[in-house]
Amino acid sequence: MIDLRSDTVTKPSLAMRQAMAEAEVGDDVFGEDPSVNRLQEKVAELLGKEDALFVPSGCMANQVSLKVHTQPGDEVILEYGGHVFNYETVAPSILSGIQLHPLPGVNGVLTAEQIEEAIRPPAYYMPRTRVIELENTHNRAGGTIYPLDGIKSIRSLAERHGITMHLDGARLWNASVATGIRMKEYAKYFDSVSVCLSKGLGAPVGSVIAASKEFIATARRYRKIFGGGMRQAGILAAAGIYAIDHNIGRLTEDHANARVLAERAAENPFFSVDLATVQTNIVILGIRGKKLEVETLIRKLAERGVLVSAGSPGKLRAVTHLDVSRTQVEEAAEILSGFAA
Ligand code: TLP
């Protein structure tokens, strides 16, 4: 079975497990886990922020960050296909008492102009626009990269309006490797950034929030409140450190593999593939031919040996990662190009 459902399906390699087994640990609720501390310092440095906090998941990284940014009754502007809006179980309303204000982007990307129009006037009976949240790369749009110039314009708009910015950078590594723009260059336009170790980098668990010292001190309180205070978490942090040290550069292979997959699938009139959106490791397959339920299609592809997942409504998503080789990708590409319902 060639598993292209997500880059979250990777399993820790032997060398990563070795690093985990040998990790120095301590009680992280007391701030005494040397491996967790090392990972946090490493990510803070990589993102050019004062401090960082290890959390169990990407969802928690986003939710803790939004909690720190907002008060109940506040509103967050984000893109309609964003992870926080679609796949985080309404957590912002449940945990922070805030409202999301989604705007339709082009390939997941919003412009400063459309955000400006959505900012609420300061009337006491309206929500208070507090945060702009962007996602880079944008998962549901197909791993698309936010243009840096666009981010800069949004930042200056946010500053003019006294609005803070959060980046869901679950796959910021992919954006950085694909463009050559350093992680800290992307990060400097945001007050808080979350990155995931458990996606393309192949760690089993974990995300990191990077921000100012003050922000992280408050985030640490909310991490505890949300149940994310872990004890000898160094065993997990060691996997994250290993992932950062060994698995960033190789993301170019995943990107090249996604392109192979997309180009071959595009040869099949059954699928519609927008090659311009295949910028990193995600391929969105529209269905042009005989209309089949996405679930049926997923089953039929699984019968032929390829696992994909559901993308936005009526679409399939295939994600390349470090546990699928070029040979397997070519095999999957062959199956997609010859697929007939
Ligand atoms: N994304 C998962 C699914 O939830 C869709 C996947 O398979 O891609 N931000 C972004 C941009 C994400 O893609 C994800 C996970 C998260 C946050 C949440 O991370 P976890 O799963 O660690 O909570």
**Residue 290, pLDDT score:** 66
DSSP code of 204?
S
Model pTM score: 0.98
Q: Is 168 in the pocket of ligand 1 (CB under 6 A)?
A: yes
Q: Can you read off the two tokens belonging to residue 24?
A: 């120095």
Question: Hey, whose CA ends up nearest to atom 3 of ligand 1?
Answer: 87
Q: Indicate where the chain has its CATH 3.40.640.10 domain(s).
A: 12-246
Q: Is the CB of 89 under 6 A from ligand 1?
A: no
Q: Which two tokens stand for residue 227?
A: 């149940």
Class at the top of the CATH hierarchy for domain 250-337: alpha beta
8 Cβ closer than 6 Å to some ligand 1 atom: yes
CB 87 less than 6 A from any atom of ligand 1: yes
Which letter, b or e, does each residue of 326-338 get, where b requires 16 or more Cβ atoms within 10 Å of its Cβ?
A: eebbeebbebbbe
In the Cβ-directed half-sphere of 216, how many Cα atoms lie within 13 Å?
20
Residue nearest atom 6 in ligand 1 by C-alpha distance: 6
- Please state which of the four CATH numbers 3.40.640.10, 3.40.605.10, 3.40.50.2300, 3.40.980.10 is assigned to the domain occupying 12-246: 3.40.640.10
**Distance from the CA of 209 to the center of ligand 1, in angstroms?**
15
- What whole-number distance in Å separates Cα of residue 149 and Cα of residue 177? 18
pLDDT reported for residue 341:
77
CATH 3.90.1150.10 residue ranges for the chain? 250-337
From CA 280, how far away is CA 259, in angstroms rounded?
A: 8
135 touches ligand 1 (CB under 6 Å): yes
Taking the alpha carbons at both ends of the chain, their separation in whole angstroms is 19
The pLDDT tens digits along the chain (341 residues) read 999 999 999 999 999 999 999 999 999 999 999 999 999 999 999 999 999 999 999 999 999 999 999 999 999 999 999 999 999 999 999 999 999 999 999 999 999 999 999 999 999 999 999 999 999 999 999 999 999 999 999 999 999 999 999 999 999 999 999 999 999 999 999 999 999 999 999 999 999 999 999 999 999 999 999 999 999 999 999 999 999 999 999 999 999 999 999 999 999 999 999 999 999 999 999 998 667 889 999 999 999 999 999 998 999 999 999 999 999 999 999 999 999 87
Which residue has the least CA distance to atom 5 on ligand 1? 87
Alpha-carbon gap, residue 268 to 332, rounded angstroms = 13
Contacts of 211 (CB under 8 A, 6+ apart): 49, 50, 51, 52, 65, 68, 191, 192, 193, 219
Q: Quick check: CB of 277 below 6 Å from ligand 1?
A: no
